Structures are given as structure tokens and as C-alpha cells.
Amino acid sequence: MSTMTLLEAANKAMQHEMANDERVVVFGEDVGLKGGVFGTTQGLQNEFGDDRCFDTPLSECGILGTAVGMALYGLRPIAEIQFLDFIYPGFDQIVSEAAKMRYRSGGEYTCPMVIRSPYGGGIRGGHYHSQSSEAYFCHTPGLKVVIPSTPADTKGLLIASIRDEDPVMFLEPKRIYRTAKGEVPDGEHVVPLGKGRVVREGSDCTIVAYGAMVPLVEKAALEAEKQGKSMEIIDPRSLVPLDEELILESVKKTGRCVIVHEAPRTCGYGGEIAAIIAEKAIEYLEGPIARVTGFDTPFPYALENLYMPDVRRVMSGIAKTFNW
């Protein structure tokens, strides 16, 4: 076991797979000698050479289209997009090409590629560097969407994503790149996609959160405990495929649910989770499902602390489902 940050864990996952599989290549803007805008790919070019870790032109469409071609010809590309906010020029390559390759070829071809990108707020990046647009990709059949919240999960989920036969959106919560620290298994460590995690066991209310919202709701759970309320926290880890069974089991036990994410409320992924609970566990509910989310506005620069969910707003969501 080694103690590392979430950012370091992502680096170790790529290093491990590049060392064990010569088909794995990493590319994107400034990912070479500079190591990427956050330093996530630091040292990979020095270790594996500039034919396996290299810089690209500033063209998201070009980066992602190249990754699709590489995947179809037998490589295992990892394409980095500097910020999720920048991905839209390459959106068509993801949803119209990569996501549909297995279906359109009748299973003859797969598109094993990983698109890594930091997402979300917390760094005062304003509306062009802070978006949480995971729901766009969850809506596209053929894509898998993975969001870690701990260093150990980052390494294990990224290795699983690189080895997967289908395209994976691997979204990294940049707010906790360096603040989330924990023990990470050395060497081989794989966390299967589609299996959620019980972060904290409880009996009175389920909180579902992912990414940077997980450590936030852990703080809220401690506050609720002071009021005599026992919170169970579920981290889905992957949104597609989603571990419905884990969420439903928890809600059936607690009878209440609060869903927390950074993305805007309307059509945010929390709405999907709420619908699943309403369809499959409504008879167990003792209060309404509460959503604590970002607002339906562009992500603000000066008012970032008001836009993003905080402990106070999570506590308000908990109160809503208890006081019904």
C-alpha cells in the first residue's frame, strides 16, 4: 500500500497499464513533457517515449477522432481533454462514432478507448472550466461513464476502464485532485465497473453522491449524526453502468434518500436516480426524495461558493425528507 492523492493514483494507473500492455498510448494537449495542465501524466513520456505519450494540436475533434481510429486498429488509446468544458468540439466523435461502433458493426468491432477529463468546480475556474456535464454522456447508449472519489478507486477504476472493450468517459473531480488522499494498493488493482461502494453505513437516510461531493456529504453525515440521524452514503462510482441494486437496497433499508451532485438540477443525473427509486422502491419511502444540486445557470466565477452544494444545503435536503 502507498499513500497518494487522487491525481497521483490516476498517474499510477496509466503507468501500470502502459508498462503491462504496449497497446496503451496516452495523448492530448501538453500531456508530454509538461505532464498535462494538472500534472496527471507527469513522467510518462520520459518513461515510455514520445511515441506512446505525446502532445497533440489544440483540437478536441482531432484528438477524439484519432482515438477512435487507434482503437479500431488495435490500440488502447487514452485521450486527455484538458477540461470537460472543452470537449464539445469533439462531441460528435464520441456520441456518433465511438459509442455506436459495436452496434453498427453487429459486434464485429469494438472501440476500446478512455477519454479522461477533469470536471466540476472548486478551483475558481468560472463558467469555461467548471462544468459538470456528465449527463450528456450518460444519455448516449454505448458509452460508459465513470467518476471516482478516492485515490484507490481512481487507480482501480481507471485500470478497469483501460481494459474495457467499450469507450469509457473517465471524469476526474479536479476539486479533490490533491486534497483526496488515501492508501492505494501497489501493482495490480482493478475495481469492476458498475459496482458501487458503501462509503458509510447508516439506518435513517440514504445519501447518494459521486466525485467531489462524496467527501462533502461525509461532513454532512457527521453533522446529521449530532442531531441523532444516521446517514448511509452510497457512491455509485460509475453512472453507466449503474449499480441500481446497491442504491435500492439502501433506500429500502432507510426509507429516505438525498441525492447530491454539482451539475444543474434540470436533467441532472440525480433525476435518473430519483426516477429509479420512485419506480422500484416507492413503497419503502417515508419522505420525498430530495435533490441537492447546482443551479440552472451558467457556472459563476465570483459566486462559486453559492452555486456549489455545501454542508448547509445538504442538511436542508436531509431536513426536507425528514420533515415531510
Cβ within 8 Å of residue 135, ≥6 positions away: 263, 267, 268, 269, 272
In whole angstroms, give the CA distance from residue 103 to residue 185: 36
Q: For the purposes of burial, counting CB atoms within 10 Å of the CB of 227, is it exposed (0-12), middle (13-18) or buried (19 or more)?
A: exposed
Name the 3-class secondary structure at 233. Answer: strand
For 52-78, give the DSSP string: TEEE--S-HHHHHHHHHHHHHTT-EEE
Query: Residue 241: is the preceding peptide bond cis (ω within 30°)?
Result: yes
Burial of 254 (0-12, 13-18, 19+ CB in 10 A): buried
**φ and ψ at 187, to 5 degrees?**
70, -140
**Strand 238-240 and strand 144-146: pairing?**
antiparallel
SS3 of 112-171: the string is CCEEEEEECCCCCCHHHCCCCCHHHHHCCCCCEEECCCCHHHHHHHHHHHHHCCCCEEEE
Which residues are identified as catalytic?
129
Enter the DSSP assignment of 300.
Answer: P
Task: Return the sign of the alpha-carbon dihedral for residues 69, 70, 71, 73.
Answer: positive
Q: How many CB atoms lie within 10 A of CB 282?
A: 10
